[in-house]
Amino acid sequence: MTRSDVLCLVSSVSFFTVGVFFGFTISIVSPPAASSALSTVALSQIPKPALKPVGFLSKPAVKKLVGTADGFVWGQGNPQFTVFIDPNCVFCHQFFQDAAPLVKSGKLSVRIVPVAILEPTSFVRAAEILSARHPLTWYLRNEQRFVMPPIEQGGLSLKLPVSAAARSDLSHNNAIIRRLDQNHAATPTFVSPSGVVQVGLPAGEFSGLLSMMRSGGAQ
């Protein structure tokens, strides 16, 4: 499937609805990753999502709602914030690349919540991650094998078993991310421990976003 644009700000529910009602038996294997030069050029041509504060819910309501999401921790210690990711989202992959050195050095711990808002294969890959005995392992594999634009897709092959429980949990996660932004959905979406929601990852501003999330946010 091709998309007329590659922005990660998507409000339609039509893509993942197919996965909810019919399930997927796709046996597509991810193509080889593009060269680093092509990847850099292609990524530079994608409009960056703006950092967007969201304040439709109170902080206590956000904390309660996000606390019910199904996810896992990447890093050691208490998570410094929660991030909702789509496994096919190139900006979620950019977050992964920015955060990985800090996580590896023990300076960062985050809670990852998979959602599916971009493509039908997003539902499959996110459900595969949630179905895994060790979801973090499959999340890391998806990102480490991520295929950069113009294809732009996660690295899981769509051949892993998917449990009914994972499908249900993923649908719940999808509902949460839409509730956070008044029935819209965008990835990555960040939530601070105090309940502040920030949508989008501004180019080159990960350190600023990290400071804001650690301090509780700007609101």
In terms of residue numbers, what domain contains 203? Answer: 9-215
Other CB atoms within a 10 A radius of the CB of residue 90 amount to 24
> Does pLDDT of 217 surpass 70?
no
3 state SS of 75? coil
Looking at residue 55, what is its pLDDT?
A: 58
Looking at residue 138, what is its pLDDT?
A: 96
Q: Is residue 144 part of a domain?
A: yes
Q: Is residue 1 part of a domain?
A: no
Looking at residue 28, what is its pLDDT?
A: 30
Average pLDDT of the residues in 18-26: 34
Residue 9 CB partners (closer than 8 Å, separation 6+): 49, 184, 186, 199, 200
Q: Is residue 47 part of a domain?
A: yes
Q: Which of 131-135, 154-158, 183-187 has the lowest mean pLDDT?
A: 183-187
Q: Is residue 3 part of a domain?
A: no
Q: Is residue 53 part of a domain?
A: yes
Q: Is residue 2 part of a domain?
A: no
pLDDT in tens, 162-207: 899 999 999 999 999 999 988 888 899 999 999 989 888 766 678 8
CATH number of the domain at 87, please: 3.40.30.10
Among candidates 86, 83, 84, 115, which has minimal Cα distance to 6? 86
> Does pLDDT of 108 surpass 70?
yes
Q: Is residue 145 part of a domain?
A: yes
Number of domains making up the chain: 1
